[in-house]
């Protein structure tokens, strides 16, 4: 994984894990590597990974079983909420970006529909 040193690294790792959960790369209940193993894998400090796990645990996206490790949540509800939140962020960013380009709400929707045809056509 490539890192952008201008933003806190732990935020980037959290983002990646969230994406992997939502995209299905990380399954519900799956065991995460230990702080040390994961930090070796990513080439970062293990304190950073420890922080990542702490923050994710605060958000209830992962849970720790003493002596066994850190696991992805099994709650579909939480995963759905996560998907929704991430999607919402995407939409907000999209809308902001399109507004900056001068698109109205109607134009945006029309654009999406044409693009959607294009997407469906390529499946």
What are the residues facing 70 on neighbouring strands? 32, 64
Name the residue nearer to another protein (CB basis): 9 or 62. 9
Name the residue nearer to another protein (CB basis): 42 or 72. 42
Q: What CA–CA distance (Å, rounded) separates 14 from 86?
A: 12
CA 66, distance to chain mean position in Å, is 25
- The verdict on 13 binding another protein (CB under 8 A) reads no
- The verdict on 40 binding another protein (CB under 8 A) reads yes
- The verdict on 89 binding another protein (CB under 8 A) reads no
Q: What CA–CA distance (Å, rounded) separates 62 from 56?
A: 6
- Residue from 24, 43, 102, 121 binding another protein (CB under 8 A): 43
Region near another protein per CB under 8 A, out of 36-44, 78-86, 97-105, 113-121: 36-44
Region near another protein per CB under 8 A, out of 41-49, 76-84, 90-98, 100-108: 41-49
- The verdict on 6 binding another protein (CB under 8 A) reads yes
User: Which residue ranges make up the site for another protein (CB under 8 A)?
Assistant: 3-10, 39-40, 43-48, 51
């Amino acid at each position: 994984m490539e890192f952008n040193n201008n933003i806190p690294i732990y935020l980037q790792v959290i983002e990646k894990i969230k994406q992997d959960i939502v995209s299905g790369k990380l399954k519900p209940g799956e065991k995460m590597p230990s702080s040390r193993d994961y930090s070796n894998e990513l080439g970062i400090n293990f304190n950073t990974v420890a922080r990542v796990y702490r923050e994710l645990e605060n958000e209830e996206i992962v849970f720790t079983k003493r002596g066994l490790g850190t696991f992805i949540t099994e709650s579909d509800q939480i995963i759905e909420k996560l998907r929704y939140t991430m999607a919402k962020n995407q939409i907000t960013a999209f809308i902001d970006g399109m507004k900056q380009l001068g698109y109205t709400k109607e134009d945006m929707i029309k654009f999406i529909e044409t693009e959607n045809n294009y997407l469906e056509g390529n499946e």
